[in-house]
Structure 1
Amino acid sequence: MFQWAYHNAAALGGEPNKLYTIGTSAGGALAFAVARKVALGSADLPKNSVKGIAAFSPVMFHPDDVPERYSSQRTSFKDNEKDTPIIDVASLMSFFNACNVKADDVDYFVGLDQANHALFPPTYIVTCGLDPLRDDGKVVAGSMKNQGISVRTDHYDGLSHCFWMFPTLPETREFLQNAFSGVKWVIESM
């Protein structure tokens, strides 16, 4: 799909040199996976075709294969195991099982491929405190920053995975303002 968008950007009124990936939850994982694939030269595109990433509550690790170096930083699965709104560990595990993705698949679980985090373009990551995936985004943001990549983050402590799908929550307005600002930052970083 990204290759199609790249090759057809001009016909759609866009610019192929200003494309970025964006996604939420599993879609956030895919936003990173596409950027990684392109940056590694595994797509029929220039390696720098993805100019930015915006990922909201992204999946970056399978809980069965988190590198030891991240174990002290990644406590959100334990912290949010049960009784959390939207998703808890049991529901997340059912998604993993339905996808049938191997826990060590670096093409999907991009957090495992720390050596190539330096290849990513400027990235905006959103995390939520009451989310089993909270630390996935935080860990990868830290890894990217340590490798000199421009990363902007917003964190919503005390709020659940994708809380913004509830428009009546007062925090949803703040999220939307920050999300627009974060995506604008990605675009302006190109």
Structure 2
Amino acid sequence: MVTAHSAEDIGLAPEWMKWEAEAGVRPLLSGDVLSMREQMNGLGQLLNSQWAAFHSIDGVLTTDLVTPQGLNVRVYQPDDSKHSSVPLGVFFHCGGYCVGGIEAEDNLVRNLCKLSQTVICSTQYRHAPEYPAPTALDDCVSITKWAVGEAESWGADPSKLYTIGASAGAALAISVPLRLYDEGNGDLVKSIISLSPCEVHVDEVDKYKPLHTSFENSAGRLPVIDIDSMRTFYSTYNAPLDDKYTFALKYPDLSILPPTYIVSAEFDPLFGDAVVFEKKVKSAGGKIVRKNYEAMPHVFWLFPLPQSLQFFQDTADVIKKLF
């Protein structure tokens, strides 16, 4: 189970505080990466059992596959779709490039597949410290290219491709199109869904003030992750501070990004990352829309809350409008 911390009243939504009271814990990934993996596994098992009782979902067919590079993916297909060819999403999971995976975000992807009526290929990229930077990006680029080639066999249209991810996966949803653009495949990804991306290294947050203040006083207070969690993730992944893909704010021209939808949450240490990134893309002339969820913490949609159900519908509606 995750580490317990005092449930300080910092203004979180009553529904979240009720979940904490019933669970008897304020979840926070802490310690070294191996400890975080155990915590994430324990949290995932708890949440999966709670979701089964809170909001069951059917109408989705899943198939577990292995790519030619030996990477695991799970393909989600809406089995009640009347379309012969639907958009294709490639999903990248949260976990600071070090923890997490397909199982932890199965409920999220399953709901988005059902509500948006799109095929989604969920990826299991390799983790640091065993596989440091840029392995996660390399894996996600490889899987995206492979998924495009397989799309028609899944009932998806490869010309309607979007990348989507949460936290570190949200950063990958941005960096994959950038890498593809630099490789000459800039027209492959048609849109981006980036859910609370990590874009500002903890050692560089001062460069982005006053827009970025959400790391301040976060240690041991905010649920799920805090500044100490992010410091551990970044030091373990070990990407250079000037890496224009891991930290897309360093990319020279963000106007080349396809239309981007970005999500932030009020009580998330990455709230400032989303605000700064939105401003940078707009300043470059890019197309970006940000939706903020008040009184909610990082990746709140993994938890069985009414706000999570609204988030699923909001995000699915955006996907449907993109194509």
TM-score of the superposition, structure 2-length normalised? 0.53
2: CA distance, partners of 1:4 / 1:65 = 35
Question: How far is the alpha carbon of 1:142 from its aligned partner?
Answer: 1.8
Q: 2:314 aligns with which of 132, 153, 178?
A: 178
Question: How far is the alpha carbon of 1:8 from its aligned partner?
Answer: 2.7
Question: How far is the alpha carbon of 1:102 from its aligned partner?
Answer: 2.2
Indicate if the aligned counterparts of 1:63 and 1:103 stay in contact, CA closer than 8 A.
no
CA RMSD of aligned residues (A): 1.8
Q: Deviations over 1:1-21 (max 9, x none)?
A: 111122332333222211111
The letter for the 2-side match of 1:103 is L
Find out whether 1:88 has 2:226 as its counterpart: yes
Q: Tell me the residue number matched to 2:194.
A: 55
Find out whether 1:147 has 2:284 as its counterpart: yes
Question: How far is the alpha carbon of 1:139 from its aligned partner?
Answer: 1.3
Find out whether 1:71 has 2:244 as its counterpart: no
Question: How far is the alpha carbon of 1:171 from its aligned partner?
Answer: 1.7
Question: How far is the alpha carbon of 1:97 from its aligned partner?
Answer: 2.0
Greater Cα offset, 17-26 or 169-178 = 169-178
Q: Tell me the residue number matched to 1:102.
A: 240
Greater Cα offset, 77-86 or 116-125 = 77-86
* SS at 2:199 equivalent: coil
1: CA distance, partners of 2:314 / 2:156 = 24
Larger C-alpha radius of gyration, 1 or 2? 2
Indicate if the aligned counterparts of 1:66 and 1:112 stay in contact, CA closer than 8 A.
no
Question: How far is the alpha carbon of 1:79 from its aligned partner?
Answer: 5.0
The letter for the 2-side match of 1:175 is F
Identical residues among aligned pairs (%): 35
Q: 4+ residue stretches of structure 1 with deviation over 6 A?
A: none
After superposition, where does 1:104-123 map in structure 2 within 5 Å? 104-113=242-251, 115-123=252-260
1: CA distance, partners of 2:257 / 2:222 = 32
After superposition, where does 1:153-168 map in structure 2 within 5 Å? 153-167=290-304
Greater Cα offset, 5-14 or 173-182 = 5-14
Question: How far is the alpha carbon of 1:23 from its aligned partner?
Answer: 0.3
Greater Cα offset, 12-21 or 115-124 = 12-21
Unaligned residue ranges in structure 1 (runs of 5+): none
Q: Tell me the residue number matched to 2:153.
A: 11
Question: How far is the alpha carbon of 1:172 from its aligned partner?
Answer: 1.7
Question: How far is the alpha carbon of 1:67 from its aligned partner?
Answer: 7.7
The letter for the 1-side match of 2:253 is N
In structure 2, the CA distance between the partners of 1:2 and 1:78, relative to structure 1 (3 Å rule), is same
Question: Would you say how many aligned residue pairs link Structure 1 and Structure 2?
Answer: 181
Q: Deviations over 1:25-83 (max 9, x none)?
A: 1101111110111122x2xx532111000011111121223583x32211111153441
Unaligned residue ranges in structure 2 (runs of 5+): 1-142
Indicate if the aligned counterparts of 1:81 and 1:132 stay in contact, CA closer than 8 A.
no
In structure 2, the CA distance between the partners of 1:145 and 1:184, relative to structure 1 (3 Å rule), is farther
The letter for the 2-side match of 1:138 is V
